[in-house]
Amino acid sequence: MIIKRLASRTEERTSALLTRVLTKLSGNTVSMGYIMLQLRRRSFGGILLLLATLCLLPGISFFAGLIIIFPGLQMVLGLRAPLLPRFLRKHEYGVALLKELGESAIPWIQRFERFVKPRWLLLTVPPMTNLIGLMIIALAFVVMLPLPFSNLPPSISLLCLAFGLLERDGLVVFIGLIAGLVALIIGVVISYIAYRGVNVFFAQPF
């Protein structure tokens, strides 16, 4: 029944949704809570897409990765919409930065949308979304690693997962999960190399 409802439902494309949300932004800063309110009807996909984009940015990636843990955990628990603690909802981002990101990302999203469509719907509904939540949490920890470029592979995987959920495209979700496994392996390897490097450094006589 859920699959039939999803297959028959038509929704605003992701690029149109983001364009509308960004156009409505005013002032110098905007809170995460306000953005979530605008994206709520698209549930977890919208907020994950925004946070995954922020994870690509050095300096912001740690905090964005920290926030992603919360919707990931809530997906594991089966919640229908993401909820964040008050201090995270109140955290603000620069409107100019968000609009700049949107202007760069939306044309690419529009190109991608030509190949995306609702399919493999079983991968976009529970219990699969509960398992996706576990992957999101694991990727969030890799994003938060204080190592050069360690945020890129998990961010790309998170973008695929978010876009697949938004467009109900199970094939894109599947690609995101495979990319996530690769990102986790890369994260483990980078962490091990960094750990060994630190040990060798402190083992040197001074």
- Look at residue 7 in the predicted model and tell me its pLDDT: 47
Residue 200 has pLDDT above 80, yes or no: no
Q: Say if residue 92 is exposed, middle or buried (CB neighbours under 10 Å; 0-12, 13-18, 19+).
A: middle
Q: What is the pLDDT of residues 75-91, one digit of tens each?
A: 999 887 777 778 777 87
- pLDDT class of 125 with cuts at 50, 70, 90: confident
Residue 22 has pLDDT above 80, yes or no: yes
The residue type of 11 is E
First and final C-alpha spacing in the chain: 69
- Look at residue 202 in the predicted model and tell me its pLDDT: 65
DSSP-derived 3-state class of residue 74: helix
- Look at residue 8 in the predicted model and tell me its pLDDT: 45
Query: Could you tell me which residue, 21 or 43, shows the higher pLDDT?
Result: 21
Residue 70 phi, psi (nearest 5):
-65, -55
Q: What is the pLDDT of residues 128-151, one digit of tens each?
A: 989 999 999 999 999 888 777 778
Q: What is the pLDDT of residues 4-13, one digit of tens each?
A: 554 445 566 7
Task: Report the percent of the chain where pLDDT is more than 70.
Answer: 87
Average pLDDT over every residue of 30-56: 77
- Look at residue 120 in the predicted model and tell me its pLDDT: 87
Q: How many CB atoms lie within 10 A of CB 88?
A: 16
Query: What is the pTM (predicted TM-score) of this model?
Result: 0.77
